[in-house]
Amino acid sequence: MQEKRIDAPLREDIRQLGGLLGSTLYEQDGEPLYNTVEEIRRLSKDARAGVPGAAEQLSSMLAGLDDAMIMPVVRAFSNFLNLANIAEQHHRIRRSRAWLRDPKSAPLRGSLEEAFERLAEAVEPQELYETVCRLEIELVLTAHPTEVTRRSLLQKYNRIAELLDQQDRLDSTPEEIEEVHQALQREIIAAWHTDEIRRRRPSPVDEARWGLAVIEQTLWNVMPRYMRRLDKILKRKTGHHLPLDVAPIRFGSWMGGDRDGNPRVTARVTREVCLLNRWMAVELYERELNPIISELSLQCVDEDLRKLVPGRWEPYRVLLKRLRARLRITRSWIEARLEGRHPPDGEILLEASDLKATLLACYHSLQRCGAGVVADGRLLDLIRRVTAFGLTLMRVDIRQEASRHTDALDAITRELGLGSYAEWTEDQREAFLIRELGNRRPLIPREFEPDDEVREVLDTFQMIAELGPDSLGAYVISMASQPSDILAVELLQQEAGIRHYLRVVPLFETLDDLTGAEACIEHLMQIPWYRNRIQGYQEVMIGYSDSGKDAGHLTAAWTLYKTQERLVAVARRQGIKLTLFHGRGGSIGRGGGPTHAAILSQPPGSVAGCLRATEQGEVIQAKFGLPGIALRNLEVYTTAVLETTLQAAQPLQQPWRDIMDRLAQLATETYRGVVRENPDFIEYFRHATPEHEISMLTIGSRPARRSPTQGVNSLRAIPWVFAWTQTRLLLPAWLGIGESLQRALDSGDAALLKSMYRDWPFFRAFLDMVEMVLAKGDPAVAAWYDNRLVPSELQPLGERMRGQFDKTLRAVLEITGHEQPLDDFPVTQRSVIVRNPYVDPLNLLQVELLYRVRHGKEENLRKALMVCINGIAAGMRNTG
């Protein structure tokens, strides 16, 4: 009953938005469409409720729609699901701040207030303060999977969320409420008449501009709010303010820098994106500076500031106008470089410290003169922004596959007559690399003329040398496996004359590479040149996507856990500081899921105040698209890392390790037995899912496959997950888990598994995520695809997999003790139940569209199919 009361406003918002959409359909497209949509909705709800004959009537009605009616019906249900998403996001904001209105209500788990209340009782105030000041959290925005919703629509959806917020105000008059209602109607009509599909595939620069829009429209204003709130509670609980040079959270980016398998990301593109980041930073700083200049007409100054502007009237304005002039010169310099012109001379701001020095001089002067209240307003917010965003907003990582560096060095050694680097053993490669790293003479001949791919690799390193340190973050090597992979990048940096070396970060992705990560890093630590280079600091990235595609979700999760344990042990033995960079995706099978639980479930010592993590495509919009949700997510990252850092390490029980090893072995055998060893699997996959059609979506700049072959190995992890999400089978997230859990249950390990779920955060978070996937999944929906699209001789494979889904659900529920999936998460449970009657028609329509498109009606219905794919993604809240 309490949960229903909490959710009553959400249900009212969905009812209102659904009603406005209905009236839009009636008024804009006529009564026939409205009546058709209403009848489909009624039948879908009846089918979910088990009304006899409703499912058959629904299927028959949708199969009988003519081509002209399919598109508006698909759009209607897709629009509703997007509106439901907006309402749910707004409700999350509503609940997160409910405690501010009612002192008796408890703050949400993971909020600053809730976490600091608990932590202040467990640790000394000074330890809590120092730990906060040492936090280093970097959220790295990536474009893959790209947000499927067009930016034009996202802006309308954000406006709808703002209007719902206005509507919640208790002091609104009837006239104001009516104005909000009319504004909502306008936005919904505008969305209805806006094309959902991009006309062209975005370029890497387009993706980078989208990332900048997230900073400009949300995070730029949320970060000062977050830091004010953190400062306030830190002062209350420890007696200290947050220092002006501390920003626990910063932002990085792969947009425009991730060239792994994406030929469209070139040295020219990365240079342009880095300059665009700088241009936007200068633009935003000038916007903030203008009202501060207007505000600081004060005459009171301390001696330090008076020396900077001796004898001047309104000294703060004089000083800040000088700074504004430098910003404008810097912007002109950036624009010239973007246009390929010679930049004009002038006092260009190249480092954040140049910008910050003037602001700090004003701040400290105001504090000393008794105008601290003024200093702690806009000026302090701007100083905090400089601390968090610097002069580039987010530093761009370079990512490239290890084999591309091997190819470059192979071309060089062949040119020099030294043989084939690619054919050398690991020992031979290391000996060569270490020798050359200690040699000051150039390695690459001046007359060297490599092929285009090698030239692009070398051009990338030249671009790094030109840009300097502030624009770029790390150099990430995907598919890293050997020490030579890391040393190769170090040598190429040296050859390019890079003065401020990028830190080199190996990315271990496949099962074998994760297992070998410990030996690789340990070996590197034995190389004196490398130990001297890293100066006691090593960053390692671990990949969730390819490991899951390689061996299944359970085995990947357990291998990632053990890999982190071993890397932490290496760091301790070698006396170095380790930062783990988590390449998490949006879906459960790619490491996605609730942030707080995911961080708290990491191995002891693996999050020692430092964390880097990717935030990908659609997840960026979901987490940071609205100010209230962005603020909540920044708090959750902070408190989770803080708690994990301060909590006492609990040794893992050996029986838990032993059973996890057994579970992982059986899960891998089951997973690979289906995905790799069954000769019918690939053919079944291509018929039963829209995998091929997804590649036609213009949602990202990167190709769907690493290579033109048709196997699962060549398919990128994102479309692999996306295809199964569309059919509601969600196979990558659970395949193999049910068999392994059931075997353990049958062997008498039920009590042990239940104790693991109760007492081990890792296992509990893992099973909770699997249960969430199973709640979203529906084998009956997947069967619609088989019955209509899959040849009869392949259909038994689908039947077996749906049986495995059911087995997995039964085993998970037995261990969690739940009667239904998500019993511990009633809000999410209700969200799934509410969405099903609206996603079901889209699935049925997608089956029909796939059938028609694959049988010769492609041109007429391709766009409707694309909209349908987007709509199901909205309903499932996931692409990949």
Contact 723, 282 (CB under 8 A): no
Query: Could you write out the three-class secondary structure of 646-672?
Result: HCCCCCCCHHHHHHHHHHHHHHHHHHH
Q: Which candidate in 156, 405, 549, 553 is catalytic? A: 549
Q: Which candidate in 90, 144, 596, 623 is catalytic? A: 144
- Per the DSSP assignment, residues forming a β-bridge with 737 are none
Q: Which of 164, 184, 179 is closest to 89 using CA atoms?
A: 164
| DSSP string across 513-546 | HHHTHHHHHHHHHT-HHHHHHHTTEEEEEEESHH
Q: How far apart are CA 603 and CA 583, in angstroms?
A: 16
Q: How far apart are CA 133 and CA 128, in angstroms?
A: 9
Q: What are the residues whose beta carbons fall under 8 Å from the beta carbon of 435, sequence distance 6 or more? A: none
Contact 219, 251 (CB under 8 A): yes
Given its phi and psi angles, is residue 772 left (phi above 0), alpha (psi -120 to 50 degrees) or beta?
A: alpha
549: annotated active-site residue = yes
Q: How far apart are CA 777 and CA 797, in angstroms?
A: 18
Q: How far apart are CA 271 and CA 592, in angstroms?
A: 31
What is the residue whose two structure tokens read 């900048």?
Answer: 212
Number of neighbours of residue 536 by Cβ within 10 angstroms: 10
Question: Residue 272: how many CA atoms within 13 Å on its side-chain side?
Answer: 17
Is the sign of the CA dihedral 730, 731, 734, 738 positive or negative? positive
Question: Residue 805: how many CA atoms within 13 Å on its side-chain side?
Answer: 25
Instruction: Tell me 715's DSSP state.
Output: B
The CA-based angle 27-28-32, given to 5 degrees, is: 75
Amino acid at 85: N
SS3 state at 438: coil
Instruction: Tell me 217's DSSP state.
Output: I
144: annotated active-site residue = yes
Q: How far apart are CA 732 and CA 551, in angstroms?
A: 10
- Radius of gyration of the chain measured on its C-alpha atoms: 28
Contact 580, 607 (CB under 8 A): yes
b/e per residue 464-480 (b: at least 16 CB within 10 A) = beebeebbbbbbbbbbb
Q: Which of 562, 478, 494, 482 is closest to 523 using CA atoms?
A: 482
Annotated catalytic residues are 144, 549
